[in-house]
Structure 1
Amino acid sequence: MPKVMILVGTMYGGALDVAEQVKPLFEKAGYSVDIHEQPMVGDLVSNEGDIALFCVSTTGSGDFPGNFVPFVRHLRDQSPSLSSLRYGLIALGDSSYGDTFCGAGRALDALLADHGATRLGERLEIDAMETFMADDAAIPWVEEWIDEQQLKVV
């Protein structure tokens, strides 16, 4: 059975909630799903052919949440090739922070591209100023993403 890894970067639990809410959508599409709250670069490298979905919130001035910093640091330091990685990205932020809105998600997207990963479709950016419950935006996006990227296996 193909696998979807959902890698979560969260400070207050919003991105984890999104991951837990979209997990059944992937299971319905025929995947086993693992949610990684403490993601490691090895998870991406050792699971070639699988799909990754990143759910990452932005903290401070466009920063990564504390639980996600070691992952990003290792990705930058180890600089592994991620040319076989196909991924989607849900970035959570607050537009009242101006230029740093969804800064962590945007920085992660650029970092993954630098390592050869292929993003499937567009990045979803969820604005806390417009969407009280992030899963209200994430669920329909994931449903559409699965269809548009032809990811159903059942």
Structure 2
Amino acid sequence: MPTLKIIVGTVYGGALDVAEQVKPLFEQAGYEVSILEQPTLADITDQAADLTLFCVSTTGSGDYPGGITPFARAINEQHPMLGELRYGLIALGDSSYGDTFCGGGRSLDALLEDHGAQRIGERLEVDAMETFMADDAAVPWVEAWIDENGLRSE
């Protein structure tokens, strides 16, 4: 059975809620799913999954949430080659913050790309100004992401 890791960076729990809401969709598509709230670099290198989904909110001035900051810092400092990493990314933000909207997710996406990771499809950016519950946008996006990219394994 293929594996999927959902790596979460959350401030108030919204990104974790998204992860918990989309987990059954991947299980139905044939994946063994784990959710990681305190990820380490080893989670995507030494113990890599077949597929990874990042659910990342933004804090401060477009910064990473605390739980994912050490993970991003490790990538920045250790410069791992991530050519085998296939991932999707859901970024949560609030467009009233202007230029820093979805900054955590956008920064992580750029960092992963700089290290050779392969994003599958487009990044989803969920705007709190438009979508009260982020999973209202994330669930249909994940359903389409699985189907459009041939990610079903059952």
TM-score (norm 1): 0.98
Residue 67 of structure 1 pairs with residue 67 of structure 2: yes
1:1-150 matched pairs, under 5 angstroms: 1-48=1-48, 50-150=50-150
Distance (Å, rounded) in 2 between the aligned partners of 1:8 and 1:49: 15
Q: Is the 8 A contact 1:86 1:119 kept in 2?
A: yes
What's the secondary structure of 2:122's corresponding residue?
Answer: coil
Q: 1:49 to 1:18 in 2, by over 3 A?
A: closer
Distance (Å, rounded) in 2 between the aligned partners of 1:88 and 1:10: 16
Shift of 1:47: 3.5
Deviations 1:46-66 (A, max 9, x none): 234610000000011100001
Residue 152 of structure 1 pairs with residue 152 of structure 2: yes
> How many residues align structurally?
154
Shift of 1:90: 0.1
Distance (Å, rounded) in 2 between the aligned partners of 1:134 and 1:54: 14
Deviations 1:26-48 (A, max 9, x none): 00000000000001110100234
CA RMSD of aligned residues (A): 0.8
Deviations 1:85-118 (A, max 9, x none): 0000000000000000001111101000000000
Amino acid at match of 1:139: V
Q: Is the 8 A contact 1:49 1:84 kept in 2?
A: no
Q: 1:124 to 1:37 in 2, by over 3 A?
A: same
**Runs of 4+ more than 3 Å apart:** none
Structure 2 residue runs of 5 or longer lacking an equivalent are: none
Structure 1 residue runs of 5 or longer lacking an equivalent are: none
Distance (Å, rounded) in 2 between the aligned partners of 1:145 and 1:52: 13
What's the secondary structure of 2:39's corresponding residue?
Answer: coil
Distance (Å, rounded) in 2 between the aligned partners of 1:117 and 1:95: 27
Greater alpha carbon shift after TM alignment, 61-70 vs 46-55: 46-55
